[in-house]
Chain A
Amino acid sequence: MIRAFNLTKRYASLTAVDKISFDIPKGQVVGFLGPNGAGKTTTMRLLTAYLPASSGRCEVMGHDVSKEPLAVRRSIGYLPENNPLYEDFEVTDTLHYVGKLRGMTDPARRMERVKTVLKACGLRSAVGKKVSELSKGYRQRLGLAGAIIHDPDVLILDEPTSGLDPNQVLEVRELIKDLKKEKTLLLSTHILSEVTATCDRIIIISAGKIAADGTAVEISGSLQNKNRLYLEMKGPDSAVSEALSALPGAARVYPDQQDGGRSGFIVESEAKTDLREAAFNLAAEKRWPILAMSQKTLSLEEVFRKLTQEQPQP
């Protein structure tokens, strides 16, 4: 349904999306997860034919986005980031307007459709209000209603629950759950619980690259096959980090924060390698007392942090 091959978008000097490839089959709900500036919005803009790709290609429902942008736009319902709406419109005007622009010329049929989405999005109590008078939750519902007015097969939602209070987050999530029964859905967020609550599959994107792709269980599992040792030594940070990296078997060393603000290093190695003894010897040799040492396993939260924080952010 949605395919990307080496999709790349460069702004003047910055590569916002860097050779991304994925294939989303029909009916799947995919959560696009990444920190601010990771390239989620940019990817979605490439998929919706809003921005041209710098290289690579993508297709939606078999239509190449750069060759048949109109066919792509027809089959997609898109909720842009920040959900832009015409403030002076009334709720139903907004939906009729989008409907008209989408070629729903028959007023009776359009009316029918508007009623359907108003009901589906729980907007009936807001009928008659101006967009500028709506609460943020209702704005978001209206944005969603506009995106599904033409009953698209593919829905692309950019941060559909951002800025909502917890109750409204739940309500919008319910709405998305209802929608996902029949549609292919790609939604972006930087909230982890969001994807675990609604998505079949998670694509974690960081600094324009795909850092992980799979179900929540697969992703955290793939990272558990490494041994992670948390170490706090009393010594100059840079020297400690360097010495730890030099340990035989140490694959990666990176700083880590413990609860309570203490900071140390994580030493990553193959699952079968145990570095504890080597670390102890190192500490003794260098006279850096060990303040803490523990074996670590990762929650999905940490997986996300790990995958997205190590690369330097632009």
Chain B
Amino acid sequence: MNEKAPILQFHAIRALAARGFKTYVESPSAYVVLFVFYLLTGYLFTLPLFLTGQASIAGMKDFVPLLLTFLVPALAMGLLAEEMRSGTFETLATLPLEDWDITLGKYLGFAAFYLLAVAGLLFYPIVLSFMVQPPSHLDWGQTIGILCSFSCLGLMYGAIGLYASSLHKNQIVALVTAFLIAFVLFLFGKLDNFFSGPMATIVEFVGSDSHMMAMSKGVFDSRDIIYFASVIFGFLYLTAQRLSNRRF
């Protein structure tokens, strides 16, 4: 559209984000997603606790990334698709907002809800620490690291989900598209053993897995942060582009 650099309208972004967050809080489908999330993570947490007496959320490390490839797109699928389906997108698009205002507003609403959901995982270790006889010492550094890696991963999937949601008014299209992209990134992380030389490095870098490894040990590597940040930015950029193609 215009040549001039977009100036973000923060009041509008805030209003959009608050509205998005409120929609999640009031929507039954978001609770279904949360229910599945906490049920499975709860299982992964308690299983080692009973079997080996170990208190750790490390058991979630392998399975949760896969779970999120599905659950996060399910949370994000409605962000724009629902507005397009119901026609409210036309009202939104004819308000004096830039594409980036809408993109960021929608994304931040999702991000707030998602981060809260991940923070909810703290419930398990906290309950444990209040137990009379803590089964074993909990490594808080590792716990925070793992939660951070889940946060980064989910925020990345969320950006993918938002983009997918801008493609079509059908939410299922958004869900499947986002899942496929997220799943491919997940798979790349698992496939690096099958490649060698520079190819392996590329596959490893593209895959999400390797970037969570250090973080879940509590080590924050700038390359990992750059990876997540650039994928997030990339998909937000695509979303803004998509919006500008849909209207001006």
User: Is residue B96 within 8 Å, beta carbon to beta carbon, of the partner chain?
Assistant: yes
Please name 12 further chain A to chain B contacts, defined as beta carbons within 8 Å, in addition to the given A73-B96, A100-B11, sorted by A numbering. A45-B90, A50-B247, A67-B2, A69-B1, A70-B98, A80-B87, A80-B90, A85-B88, A88-B23, A97-B19, A101-B15, A102-B96
B90, A50: Cβ atoms under 8 Å? Answer: yes
- Which parts of A47-74 form the interface with B (CB within 8 Å)? 48-52, 66-71, 73-74
| Given known A82-B87, A88-B23, contact A49–B94 (CB-CB < 8 A) | yes
Q: A222 in the interface, Cβ–Cβ < 8 Å?
A: no
* Least Cβ–Cβ distance between A111 and chain B, in angstroms: 15
The 7 closest A-B pairs by CB, nearest first: A84-B87, A100-B15, A73-B96, A74-B96, A80-B90, A84-B88, A69-B248
Give A49 to B92 CA distance when docked, in angstroms. Answer: 12
Chain A interfacial positions (CB closer than 8 Å to B): 45, 48-52, 66-71, 73-74, 76, 78, 80, 82, 84-88, 97-98, 100-103, 105, 146
Residue of B nearest to A89 (CB): B19
Please tell me if B9 contacts chain A, counting CB pairs below 8 Å: yes
Task: Name the B residues within 8 Å of A146 (CB-CB).
Answer: 91
Most A CB within 10 A of own CB, among B23, B26, B90, B98 = B90
CB-based contact A103/B9 at 8 Å = yes
CA distance A66 to B2 in the complex (A): 9
Residue of A nearest to B3 (CB): A67
Q: For the complex, give the distance between the alpha carbons of A146 and B88 in Å.
A: 12
Does residue B12 face the partner (Cβ distance < 8 Å to A)?
A: yes
**Bound Cα distance from A105 to B248, whole angstroms:** 26
Point out residues on B near A: beta carbons under 8 Å. 1-2, 9, 11-12, 15-16, 19, 23, 26, 86-98, 247-248
CA distance A86 to B86 in the complex (A): 8
Question: For chain A, what secondary structure do more than half of its interface residues adopt (helix, strand, loop), or is it mixed?
Answer: loop
Collect the chain B residues with CB atoms within 8 Å of residue A97's CB: 15, 19
What's the minimum C-beta distance from B118 to chain A, rounded to whole angstroms?
25
Given contact pairs A51-B247, A69-B1, A103-B11, A98 touches B95 in the complex (Cβ within 8 A): yes
From B16, B19, B93, give the contact of A50 (CB < 8 A). Answer: B93
In the bound assembly, the distance between CA atoms of A146 and B93 in angstroms comes to 14
A100 / chain B contacts, CB cutoff of 8 Å: 11-12, 15
Q: How far is the CA of A52 from the CA of B97 in the complex (A)?
A: 16
Q: Which of A66, A85, A98, A103 gathers most chain B CB within 10 Å?
A: A103
Contact between B23 and A103, CB atoms less than 8 A apart: no
Of the candidates A69, A71, A76, A97, the one having the most CB atoms from chain B within 10 angstroms of its own CB is: A69
Bound together, the chains give a CA A87 to CA B85 distance in angstroms of 13
Report Cα–Cα, A304/B114, bound state, in Å: 56
Would you call B96 and A70 a contact (CB within 8 A)? Answer: yes
Contact of B12 among A67, A82, A86, A103 (CB under 8 A): A103
Q: When chains A and B are docked, how far (Å) is the Cα of A45 from the Cα of B93?
A: 10
Task: Please report the C-alpha to C-alpha distance between residue A97 and residue B91 in the assembled complex, in whole angstroms.
Answer: 12
Q: Which of A73, A74, A86, A102 contacts B88 (CB 8 A)?
A: A86
- Smallest CB–CB gap between A187 and chain B, Å? 16
Q: Report the minimal beta-carbon distance from B169 to chain A, rounded to whole angstroms.
A: 12
Partner of A101, one of B16, B26, B247: B16
Question: In angstroms, how far is the closest chain B Cβ from the Cβ of A70?
Answer: 5
State which of A48, A71, A103 has its C-beta within 8 Å of the C-beta of B94.
A48
Expressed in whole angstroms, the minimum distance between the Cβ of B7 and any Cβ of chain A is 10
Within 8 Å CB of A87, what residues of B?
86
- Find out whether the CB atom of A84 lies under 8 angstroms from the CB atom of B86: yes
Interface centre among A68, A71, A100 (most CB of B within 10 A): A100
Q: How far is the CA of A68 from the CA of B91 in the complex (A)?
A: 18
Docked CA distance A296–B87 (Å): 45
8 Å CB contact of B96 from A66, A103, A105: A103
Cβ–Cβ < 8 Å partners of B23 in chain A: 88
* Contact (Cβ within 8 A) B9 A73: no
Q: Are A105 and B88 in contact (CB under 8 A)?
A: no
Measured CA separation A1–B203 after assembly (Å): 57
For this complex, 27 residue pairs linking A to B, each with C-beta atoms less than 8 Å apart, are A45-B90, A49-B248, A50-B94, A50-B247, A51-B247, A52-B247, A52-B248, A73-B95, A73-B96, A76-B94, A80-B87, A80-B90, A84-B89, A84-B90, A85-B88, A87-B86, A100-B15, A101-B12, A101-B16, A101-B92, A101-B95, A101-B97, A103-B9, A103-B12, A103-B96, A105-B11, A146-B91
Residues of B within 8 A of A102 (CB): 95-96
Residues of A within 8 A of B95 (CB): 73, 98, 101-102
Cα A70 to Cα B7 in complex, Å, equals: 12
Q: How far is the CA of A97 from the CA of B248 in the complex (A)?
A: 23
The residues of B that contact A45 with a CB separation of less than 8 Å are 90
A80 x B86 contact (CB < 8 A): no
Name A79's closest neighbour in chain B (CB-CB).
B91
B10 nearest in chain A by CB position: A105
What residues of B have a CB within 8 angstroms of the CB of A51 in the complex?
247
Residues of chain A within 8 A (CB-CB) of B91 are: 78, 80, 84, 98, 146
CA of A51 to CA of B247, assembled, Å: 5
Determine the chain A residues whose CB is within 8 A of the CB of B87 once the complex forms.
80, 82, 84
Whether the Cβ atoms of A88 and B26 lie closer than 8 Å is yes
